[in-house]
Amino acid sequence: MNDDISQPQADNTDKPASQPQADKADKPAGDAVQGNTPEAVKNAPKKAEPAKPKSKKPQPKQESPWLMLVRDCGQWLSSNRFAAVSTACFVALNIVIWIALAFAGHRLPLNELNTTMSEFDLRKLAASLILTRGVLQLLGSAALIMLVLVLSEPRLGRGRTVAVALGSAVGGVALGMGLCFVVGVAYQDIQSVARLRFSLNPVVLVIGALMAASAFSDILWRRRIRIIGYAAILVLLLYGGNPGNYCLLAAALIGHLIGRLLAGSPKRSSRKENNVAGIRYWQRGTSSEARRIFAAIAAIMALGPLTAVTSRNHAGPLSTLGLLMSPRRIDNDALAQCLAGETTKGCFLQFDLVRTSMPGIVLSSLLPTAVMLVLAWGLYRGRRFAAIVTIAVNILQICMAVVYYLVIPLGLTEKGMGSLISHGTLLACFTTILPSLVFSIALLLSIRYFPVAVGWHRLASGVGTMFVAFLACSAVYLLVGLSRPDDFTPSVDAESLLADLPDRFLPIGFLHHSRLEFAPNSWIASAVYQGVGLVFWLVVLAVILHWMKDTVKESDAMRARAGRLVEIGGESMSFMTTWEGNTYWMSPTGRSAIAYRVLSGIALTLTGPFGEPSEWEEDLRGFTQFCREKSLTPVFYSIHKTQRDFLCKKGWYAIEVGSEMVVDPRSWKTTGKKWQDIRTAINKANRAGITDVYSTFADAPADVREQIEAISEEWAQDKALPEMKFTLGAVEELRDSRVQLLYAIDADGRVLGVTSWLPTWRDGRLIGWTLDFMRHRTDSPNGIMEFLIARMAQRLHDEGEANPDEAVEFMSLSAAPLAGMDPDRDNTGGTGANNEGTRMLHHSLQIVANLMEPAYGFHSLFNFKRKFQPSEDPVYVCYRDVAKLPQIGLAVVRAYVPSITVPQAMGMLKTFSHKS
């Protein structure tokens, strides 16, 4: 039911009055629909079955898979010749120079490429743009260069790709060196920065072209390239500390600016109302794509410490962890002088070496990485608890960093904030917390994309466990320190222990440029010193894994069970109960179930019972009793007349909330004046060379899947409100192998529009298909959706004629939410259910429908579906308690739009005012 309803694709160009002769000249509608694919043209007089053996040629099966793979690779390289040749030249150049240098006595890795800012050598720096230090860097750089050029050249063109790449690289090197110098000055450490040996990465040479190409990409790839690209660069910069990373960032920024100047501002919706109320363009999008982006960023941030480990310089603001791989060792004499306050020269290095020499502290620093990786997986799966915990973990890190860098030092110094600024502490604090702060804010603003809840009771118990663990570990550390103060060097007291307490729980990467006040000198003190943080993070990891096990395994198991029950029996919309976000009530026999969501104290069902048809009356009673025991108010939403009548006889109230449009494919035909728009759409598609393809999402080619996701993303960006849920599927719902796609594709391979169809079974036999996902490109020809729906009906008609015993009984066009409501039709039962409360709820829902109409076009969709001359089957919401009417209305709105922000609501209202 997720339809592109803002523009219902009515064909306004081929009107009957203006082209009567052309329309008569076309074939009859049945032939037109049947003849729009090559297979149909070839086998028009016959059934599809006889043609199948002819298409199974033995030759392809005898061909070696290796030869086929080689041919595919050759075709791909041919279509990406510039990228392949450029990468091959890069690899060949490096190998040739390596061989020449080997004869001259140089060995890999080529450390001679390194330079410093104090002894700057422009020739070495330029050489490092095209030469790599070793084999691993060559392979990695070659892969990245190939990827960048494959993405850039089709968008920019060959000439602009080369020009932008070179211009961005030159400007990036100059600007990057300046940025590195400024950071060194800000940290009061310019001498150390000037002595760092570094080289550039060849990726600097092409990264600007990639960022410039993003300006010419569609919404999907523009967001992916920029967000993931900048996140990866910043993690390299913050954790690695190579001055060359500043050049990489600068080159990317310059390329981004050039691309913006060349392409202009990103395209926005042509409708003004979608750009009002301050709604940020980047905040709109599909939930599936948002999950991918946030999961990718979370994983990149989690892997930051591993970046520090492999860094040669360990000079990034968060790169202390990189000292684990350093050959440098602790200088005990220098450490003693630092702890005694006799010197400050090289003390930060000695402090960092002490921390990284303790296995407990190292493990406690790596455990947050494991926690964040688990949470990244949860973000990808749409788990709200993963989003909440990710935000909480980042906020905890922020708070502890602020306490460590600002609160505690301010309490220990008499010079105030000026001292912190002069020593770079304030900047160190800002740099440390910035990634977590930005990511937390962005994730909080996008919390609506993560609808699968863990449950507040379970969440609260887990948070409580972590808090108790934190208190217990802190208490143990303080008690041991106070009872054995001489086990530390120098001796400790309560003030010094409290000042050091945050260090025990922060990863050591956050403690760079921070002073070590004391160190343990006994095994007991060392065990406590290293162990409290380790135990705490082990508890955190265990709680997160427990949450994942509870929500993922239990939820997936229940959904899989519901998926099996749907195949036993259900109604036209029952397949929607298998989507994520639903909770399930199972009947005592386990042969039927009801899907529902708890919203504002309302247990709002998604259609009626499904599974064994003979149990549905008992299911209605059983679910009602279950809700009563749980102190929930049961409300049956989108149920049909039979179940509605049963409930009304039991004293329930009912109101019609829409009309489902149902077509019988067995009697499908498109003759007559009423079918003029449909025939025109079919004939127009045939003349344009547009064909339809019937497939599942998994079986569709990769480029088709990518195009479908891009079309969906473009559609979502065009809306003033978030993507709707509940009875409206999105891209993630297409992935079920039982869902069929019918998409239109032109001669150039461009997907113009796509529809998805949900199956319905009775006693295990497929009896019908229901339209759900329905979207098209903004520039697709008018009539493309009429063409696809007509083709689906014709396909089902032909299949039914070929095999009458397996013919489907209906093709549902689904119901437009909150459209086609009639308060006076079929809303009175034996109890006189049509009362003032019912009318009030109807009018409230009608107001909501009117407000959402400009953004989602429910009524436009309703009228669009009427073109197919369907029968209208009303769907109802049934409720027992009239006093709950306000909660019911709120629950319905929250089900469709789980999280709507104030700016979005204001945008919706302004949209309505524009339309008015």
The average confidence (pLDDT) of the chain is 74
Residue 32 neighbours by CB under 8 Å, 6+ apart: 26, 670, 679, 682, 683, 686
Q: What is the pTM of this model?
A: 0.60
Range in 6-15, 84-93, 830-839 with the lowest mean pLDDT: 6-15
Range in 413-422, 459-468, 560-569, 880-889 with the lowest mean pLDDT: 413-422
Buried b (16+ CB within 10 A) or exposed e, 619-656: bbebbbebbeeeebbbbbbbbbeebbebbbeeebbbbb
- Give the mean pLDDT of 103-124: 76
Confidence of residue 453 (pLDDT cuts 50, 70, 90): low
Our measurement of the distance from residue 884's CA atom to the centroid of its chain's CA atoms, rounded to an integer in Å, reads 36
Query: Does 624 fall in a domain?
Result: no
Residue 383 is predicted with a pLDDT of 79
- Give the mean pLDDT of 409-425: 58
Q: How far is CA 134 from CA 94, 99, 128, 236, in A?
A: 9, 12, 12, 19
| Paired tokens of 497 | 């222990």
Looking up residue 732, the CATH number of its domain turns out to be 3.40.630.30
Residue 209 is predicted with a pLDDT of 92
Residue 754 is predicted with a pLDDT of 94
DSSP string, 626-659: HHHHTT-EEEEEEE-HHHHHHHHHTT-EEEEEEE
Query: Does 149 fall in a domain?
Result: yes
Task: State whether 382 and 526 are in the same domain.
Answer: yes
Confidence of residue 824 (pLDDT cuts 50, 70, 90): low
Is 294 a residue whose pLDDT tops 60? Answer: yes
Residue 901 is predicted with a pLDDT of 52
- Give the mean pLDDT of 53-70: 57
Residue 272 is predicted with a pLDDT of 38
CB 82 within 8 A of CB 154: no
Q: Which of 774, 789, 815 is the last residue of a domain?
A: 815
Query: Does 454 fall in a domain?
Result: yes
Residue 753 is predicted with a pLDDT of 92
DSSP string, 490-543: S---HHHHHHHGGGGTS-GGGGTT-----EE-SHHHHHHHHHHHHHHHHHHHHH
User: What backbone torsions phi and psi does residue 880 show, to the nearest 5 degrees?
Assistant: -105, -35
Residue 595 is predicted with a pLDDT of 93
Closest CA to 564 of 584, 592, 588: 592
Candidate ranges 52-56, 616-620, 880-884; pick with highest mean pLDDT: 616-620
Confidence of residue 52 (pLDDT cuts 50, 70, 90): very low
Question: Is the peptide bond prior to 886 cis by the omega test (within 30 degrees of 0)?
Answer: no
Candidate ranges 527-531, 766-770, 804-808; pick with highest mean pLDDT: 766-770
Is 5 a residue whose pLDDT tops 50? Answer: no
315-325 pLDDT per residue, tens? 555 554 334 33
Percent pLDDT > 70 in the chain is 67
Query: Does 734 fall in a domain?
Result: yes
Dist CA 393 CA 379 (whole Å): 14
Dist CA 733 CA 756 (whole Å): 9
Task: State whether 258 and 363 are in the same domain.
Answer: no
Residue 520 is predicted with a pLDDT of 78
- CA 250, 252, 257, 261 torsion-angle sign: positive
What domain range is 523 assigned to? Answer: 358-566
Task: State whether 700 and 561 are in the same domain.
Answer: no
Is 213 a residue whose pLDDT tops 70? Answer: yes
Q: How far is CA 858 from CA 3, 771, 821, 894, in A?
A: 9, 15, 11, 17
Query: Does 425 fall in a domain?
Result: yes
Q: What are the beta bridge partners of residue 775?
A: 754
Is 81 a residue whose pLDDT tops 80? Answer: yes
Residue 309 is predicted with a pLDDT of 52
CB atoms closer than 10 angstroms to residue 364: 24
Tell me which of 916 and 570 has the higher pLDDT. 570
Residue 133 is predicted with a pLDDT of 80
Q: How far is CA 459 from CA 441, 442, 486, 546, 836, in A?
A: 21, 22, 41, 10, 41
Task: State whether 560 and 675 are in the same domain.
Answer: no
Q: Which of 264, 299, 325 is the last residue of a domain?
A: 264
Question: Rg of the Cα trace of the chain?
Answer: 32
Dist CA 404 CA 415 (whole Å): 17
Query: Does 224 fall in a domain?
Result: yes
Our measurement of the distance from residue 528's CA atom to the centroid of its chain's CA atoms, rounded to an integer in Å, reads 41
Q: How far is CA 571 from CA 332, 624, 641, 883, in A?
A: 77, 20, 12, 30
Tell me which of 291 and 276 has the higher pLDDT. 291
| Paired tokens of 64 | 């070696």
Residue 308 is predicted with a pLDDT of 57
Residue 846 is predicted with a pLDDT of 61
- Give the mean pLDDT of 445-459: 72
Percent pLDDT > 90 in the chain is 18
Residue 887 is predicted with a pLDDT of 80
Residue 764 is predicted with a pLDDT of 84
H helix and E strand count, the chain: 36, 14
Tell me which of 548 and 511 has the higher pLDDT. 548
User: What backbone torsions phi and psi does residue 816 show, to the nearest 5 degrees?
Assistant: -70, 125
Query: Does 667 fall in a domain?
Result: yes
- What value, to the nearest 5°, has the Cα angle with vertex 562 and ends 556 and 567? 130
Q: Which of 795, 815, 835 is the last residue of a domain?
A: 815
CB 787 within 8 A of CB 10: no
Dist CA 711 CA 780 (whole Å): 11
306-364 pLDDT per residue, tens? 665 555 555 555 554 334 333 344 444 554 555 555 445 445 444 454 445 455 455 55
Residue 192 is predicted with a pLDDT of 62
- Give the mean pLDDT of 450-454: 68
Q: How far is CA 80 from CA 91, 147, 212, 213, 390, in A?
A: 17, 10, 19, 16, 40
Is 587 a residue whose pLDDT tops 90? Answer: yes
Dist CA 532 CA 526 (whole Å): 10
Task: State whether 406 and 541 are in the same domain.
Answer: yes
Range in 381-395, 402-416, 632-646 with the lowest mean pLDDT: 402-416
Closest CA to 203 of 242, 236, 251: 251
Q: How far is CA 331 from CA 119, 189, 336, 421, 498, in A?
A: 28, 21, 9, 29, 27
Closest CA to 288 of 375, 224, 339, 361: 224
Residue 644 is predicted with a pLDDT of 92
Task: State whether 673 and 789 are in the same domain.
Answer: yes
Dist CA 98 CA 175 (whole Å): 30
- Give the mean pLDDT of 176-192: 67
User: What backbone torsions phi and psi does residue 895 show, to the nearest 5 degrees?
Assistant: -65, -40
Query: Does 436 fall in a domain?
Result: yes
Which alpha helices (DSSP H) does 403-455 contain, by range?
408-412, 417-422, 425-445
Residue 336 is predicted with a pLDDT of 55
Total number of domains in the chain: 3
Is 38 a residue whose pLDDT tops 70? Answer: no
